[in-house]
Amino acid sequence: MERGGRWMRVIVIDDEKAMHLIMGKMLRKLPGIELAGCFADTASASRYIQEHEVHVAFVDISMPQESGMQFAERMAAQRPELHVIFVTSHKGYALDAFELSALDYIVKPVSLERVEKSIKRAKAIYHFHETASAASTPPPVHIFALGGFEVRTAAGSVKWKSRKSAELFAYLLMLRGRMVSRARLVAEVFGEMPSKNAETYLNTSIYQLRKALEPHGIKSVIQSNADGYGLDLHDAIIDYVEFEARLKQIDTMDNVNMEWCLETEKLYVGDLFGDKGYIWALNDASRLSALHAALVKKLASALIEQRKEDLAIGLLAKQHARNELDEETVILLMGAYAAKKELSSCERLYRSYEKVLRQELNIDPSQELKALYAELLLSN
């Protein structure tokens, strides 16, 4: 087998689809790596391995039907040249894994640095060289849709030819991988225009979109057929997609994964598409905002328990600025101030919240909040 100067072919086997996305994005950031496929079970992965060259498999241990351990044992007999790297939520299998000659053992949540370390081990064994031409793969695409909207490649940010061409790309982004009919695009993106003008503007915007993407080498991501258009961006790194994928990995919050959880929160730099005001995106924007708010509250509660009130206050203060009417955030923030014996801050927050409620909704704080405020005053 000639190995020098070639791409290392890697697969991921995990029954959690979120891990396919997470591992895929990490592996695509590493030079000389070709992600050959992601599989939800060992049976489909085995069929692929029998028909294709695969050098490394990242394998979850807890799998339906056949476990990752059983798969590794079977591969050791059938394909001894395949190196297995276990990726699991459980630390207790490490000894058994290395008895099966596993190349490495990674405990979730997974970090890019840890995956890169495993890949370096594999490259050392296979003697792969990172000499593959960058022209052999499409340029990486980074899309930032939280807090604004930017599409960036190695050539810089995409310069939109018009406001509507940017909105059209954003709409197709939300439905990436699917073809969208012209009728739907006209109704959703150009609905404020007369039907005849809308059709013309759709054609013009598609043309402008392709012209804007051409200098970045990604003109071909705009797909078309007789009925409509689509966006083929399966390799792109999209901030809101990464945010949701990381959320699905968070089961508990403790000292072990707190830094990783805080990094996840930082991904949410603002609402979906920022101040663009795309009406068709309101439901997704609200959903992501609610997910972020829930994450902040969960993080703050864990930080207060760990006596890290300053971190909790920073998170809650930003969340309170986003939504001044959210009583749960106010309760947590008052609790954090009280834990630090900052009575004046606690009182200012309560009075401010009381004022906002009366101005905006013409109501008073709940009895629960009033009782908490009185209790905090007495205890301090």
Identify whether the C-beta of residue 68 lies closer than 8 Å to the C-beta of residue 61. yes
Burial classification of residue 274, based on how many CB atoms lie within 10 Å of its CB (0-12 exposed, 13-18 middle, 19 or more buried): middle
Residue 249: predicted pLDDT:
81
CATH number of 138-271: 1.10.10.10
Residue 135: predicted pLDDT:
41
In terms of Cα–Cα distance, which of 46, 39, 45 is closest to 14? 39
Residue 98: predicted pLDDT:
58
Phi-psi region of 145 (alpha: psi -120 to 50; beta: other; left: phi over 0): alpha
Which residues are within 8 A (CB) of 295 and not within 5 positions of it... i.e. 6 or more apart?
247, 250, 261, 264, 265, 268
Q: How many CA atoms lie within 13 A of 325 on its CB side?
A: 8
Identify whether the C-beta of residue 58 lies closer than 8 Å to the C-beta of residue 13. yes
- Quote the pTM value: 0.65
Query: Both tokens of residue 80?
Result: 């001894």
Residue 3: predicted pLDDT:
37
Identify whether the C-beta of residue 279 lies closer than 8 Å to the C-beta of residue 192. no
Identify whether the C-beta of residue 188 lies closer than 8 Å to the C-beta of residue 171. yes
Residue 248: predicted pLDDT:
86
Which residues are within 8 A (CB) of 209 and not within 5 positions of it... i.e. 6 or more apart?
161, 165, 168, 169, 222
Residue 13: predicted pLDDT:
94
Which residues are within 8 A (CB) of 346 and not within 5 positions of it... i.e. 6 or more apart?
334, 337, 338, 373, 376, 380
Q: How many residues does the chain have?
A: 380
Residue 333: predicted pLDDT:
95
Q: CA angle 22-290-235, nearest 5°? A: 25
Question: With respect to CATH, is domain 8-136 assigned 3.40.50.2300?
Answer: yes
Identify whether the C-beta of residue 272 lies closer than 8 Å to the C-beta of residue 285. yes
Residue 375: predicted pLDDT:
86
Residue 139: predicted pLDDT:
57
Query: For each successive 10 residues of the chain (380 residues), what is the average pLDDT?
Result: 58 90 87 86 89 90 87 87 87 61 84 90 69 49 94 90 95 94 94 83 93 91 90 86 88 80 91 94 96 96 93 95 94 92 91 94 92 80
Quote the CA–CA distance of 181 and 225 in Å, as a whole number.
Answer: 9
Q: What would the pLDDT profile of 177-224 be if each residue is shown by its tens digit?
A: 899 999 999 999 998 887 778 889 999 999 999 999 999 989 889 999
At 295, is the secondary structure helix, strand, or coil? helix
Residue 138: predicted pLDDT:
52
At 169, is the secondary structure helix, strand, or coil? helix
CA atoms 23, 24, 25, 26: torsion sign: positive
Question: With respect to CATH, is domain 272-379 assigned 1.10.15.40?
Answer: no
Identify whether the C-beta of residue 288 lies closer than 8 Å to the C-beta of residue 145. no
Q: How many CA atoms lie within 13 A of 137 on its CB side?
A: 19
- Domain extents in the chain: 8-136, 138-271, 272-379
Edge-to-edge strand ranges of the sheet holding 33-39: 33-39, 8-13, 56-59, 83-88, 104-107
